[in-house]
Amino acid sequence: MSSADYHQRIAARFAAAARTYDAHSAVQRHAAQRLAGLIATSGLPPRVRALEIGCGTGHLTRLLTIHLPGARILATDIAPAMAAACRARLPMLDFAVMDGARPAVAAPFDLICANLAAQWFADLPAALARLAALLAPGGMLAFSLLGADTFREWRAAHARCGLAPGTPPFPSQKQCRAAFPAGGELRLLTETHLDRPGSALGFLRGLRALGADSAAPGHAPLSPARLRRVMRELDAAPVMTYDIIYACWRNHPGKAPFSAHAR
């Protein structure tokens, strides 16, 4: 499967979930709040020119309007229905339907940000290089994304059944660090966030309601019988790990994007 086909499949899944997304996106709200706080304390210039990738229904977008008063924000999403949902909430902003991995917008921007979206990029280093090229001097990329330890309990249940999960290969902290362009200043934070979906079926239904149930390219779906085996391997009230990476990269190493607990 080509990267374009993979991104279109993801776009279709998120578009189908636009109406159910808000009811199942507590983790996305949490990450948006944390990322918005990092952005707000990063020393950006007044009247920031900001580009948001993967705005979804607007969790981070709304916070940007609060933390960056006077900012000129262009919110984008690969799924038209998601962009429309965000526009309905924040009609004063500019919107575009766009694949964030292959941006087609006029530069420059002081801030390019994305909340739990960049892990879907088929080629993260190439996408980050394209986005970094759109930054003004001193501009910043600010992302939250799912890391390699996400859904470790789901993968472990597959392993106990001798099966391969369809979970996409989310980047490790090391891979995330290496994905950003050389020559800038990067700070990373990591967070382990635990979710309790109530049951294995609740976990799967929640992913579908988010549009986040796209399997890794080339993965063959499990048969119903095998899927039931994996679900039985999980506890009656499973805990699901979200390994969240917060990354801020600046193209001019004069100012650190943030420093508290950075590593």
Tens of pLDDT, residue by residue over 105-155, are 999 999 999 999 999 999 999 999 999 999 999 999 999 999 999 999 999
Dihedral angle sign, alpha carbons of residues 149, 150, 152, 157:
negative
Give mean pLDDT, residues 231-246.
92
What element of type H or E holds 167?
none
pLDDT at res. 253: 53
CB 58 within 8 A of CB 75: yes
CB 52 within 8 A of CB 97: no
pLDDT at res. 128: 98
Q: What's the pLDDT band for 261 if we cut at 50, 70, 90?
A: very low
In the predicted model, is pLDDT for residue 252 greater than 80?
no
Give mean pLDDT, residues 226-248.
94
Mean pLDDT estimate for the chain:
92
Give the integer Cα–Cα distance in Å for 137 and 178: 21
Give mean pLDDT, residues 228-245.
93
pLDDT at res. 1: 59
Give mean pLDDT, residues 207-229.
92
- SS3 label, residue 67: helix
For domain 3-148+173-196+243-250, the CATH architecture is: 3-Layer(aba) Sandwich (3.40)
